[in-house]
């Protein structure tokens, strides 16, 4: 039986995707297959047809296991940025990705399908060049408010895919700013109790609100409103912890709440 032609090349601006998913406490190398970017790509295009999977990022700035990616047949490209996050972060990964994709275009003519994973509109010249050379071009991007509405990336591709749907996290696509804060707050409180330094301790309302102010850059009034929203929506519930003959009061996430359970699972934690 003839071997299937490996005619698909996948290029991932992992730095772009990593920070985009980080807003939702999502890991692109998620422990569950249905949420794992690399495994989902392999399932979608089939390992038999994939010639290469190239991922570009400054891995020193990200909490990702390079060994885990390499075991999934992902080729790692370390691209040094300026070491910053957010708006001040300079993404050098997209430049190297474009250069390598163009090299493949001219040196490996049997590649028929180019898959680009990025929401960066700087990719438009690359998409247009690949498409004009008769290649099939498919784009994966995170379709939320960070995606430029004027870029019209889909016009330069044969097919576009929404990463929210592709990674089975479509619940988070249209989150309002308040919903995003609730989502982040739930994960924050859950992770606080998983910190070994907090074992046996209770997370009181005053400490929670103060941490909201510091972590989410909100005012004290907004922190109070967020806490009230969590309590009234039953996202969190009060607990009592007895320690050294004293009772301490605090709050934990309510894992009996279906939305809370989903948020925690999407963040990569196993909920029994």
Domain span at residue 252 reads 177-266
Say whether both 66 and 157 belong to one domain.
yes
Does 47 share its domain with 182? no
Task: Indicate the SS3 state at residue 59.
Answer: helix
Predicted pLDDT at 88: 44
- The span from the CA of 56 to the CA of 91, in Å, is 10
Buried b (16+ CB within 10 A) or exposed e, 49-71: ebbbbbbbbbbebbebeeeebee
Domain C-terminal end among 125, 157, 172: 172
Query: Domain boundary residue among 140, 172, 204?
Result: 172
pLDDT in tens, the chain (272 residues): 345 679 999 999 998 899 888 888 888 999 889 999 999 999 999 989 999 999 999 988 888 899 999 999 999 999 986 555 544 445 678 889 999 999 999 999 999 999 999 877 778 889 999 999 999 999 998 877 555 555 567 788 899 898 989 998 877 766 777 788 898 899 999 999 999 999 888 999 999 999 999 988 889 999 999 999 999 999 999 998 887 778 888 999 999 999 899 888 888 888 76
- CA-to-CA distance for 139 and 10, rounded, in angstroms? 10
pLDDT value at residue 109: 93
What is the pTM assigned to this prediction?
0.74
Alpha-carbon distance values, 190 to 16, 195, 236, 253, 266 (Å): 26, 9, 10, 6, 13
Supply 204's token pair. Answer: 């009181």
Q: Within a domain: residue 258?
A: yes
- Do 149 and 197 fall within a single domain? no
Tokens 């998409």 belong to 127
**131 and 214 share a domain?**
no
CATH code, domain with 94: 3.40.50.1010
- pLDDT on residue 92: 79
Q: Determine the pLDDT at residue 180.
A: 83
Position 2 in a domain = no
On whether both 229 and 130 belong to a single domain, the answer is: no
């Amino acid at each position: 039986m003839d071997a299937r032609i490996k005619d698909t090349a996948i290029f991932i601006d992992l730095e772009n995707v990593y920070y985009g998913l980080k807003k939702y406490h999502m890991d692109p190398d998620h422990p569950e297959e249905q949420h794992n970017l690399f495994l989902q790509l392999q399932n979608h295009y089939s390992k038999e047809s994939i010639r290469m999977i190239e991922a570009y990022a400054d891995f020193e700035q990200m909490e990702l296991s390079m060994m885990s990616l390499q075991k999934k047949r992902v080729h790692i490209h370390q691209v040094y940025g300026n070491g910053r996050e957010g708006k001040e972060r300079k993404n050098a990964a997209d430049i190297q990705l474009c250069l390598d994709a163009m090299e493949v275009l001219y040196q490996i003519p049997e590649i028929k399908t180019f898959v680009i994973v990025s929401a960066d509109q700087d990719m438009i010249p690359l998409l247009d060049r690949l498409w004009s050379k008769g290649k099939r071009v498919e784009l994966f991007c995170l379709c939320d408010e960070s995606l430029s509405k004027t870029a019209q990336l889909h016009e330069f591709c044969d097919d576009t895919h929404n990463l929210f749907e592709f990674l089975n996290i479509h619940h988070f696509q249209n989150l309002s700013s308040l919903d995003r804060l609730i989502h982040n707050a739930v994960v924050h409180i859950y992770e606080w109790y998983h910190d070994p330094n907090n074992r046996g301790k209770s997370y009181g309302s005053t400490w929670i609100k103060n941490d909201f102010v510091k972590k989410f850059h909100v005012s004290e009034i907004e922190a109070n409103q967020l806490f009230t929203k969590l309590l009234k929506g039953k996202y969190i519930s009060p607990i009592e912890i007895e320690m050294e003959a004293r009772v301490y009061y605090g709050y934990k996430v309510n894992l009996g709440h279906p939305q809370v359970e989903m948020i925690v699972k999407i963040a990569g934690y196993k909920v029994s």
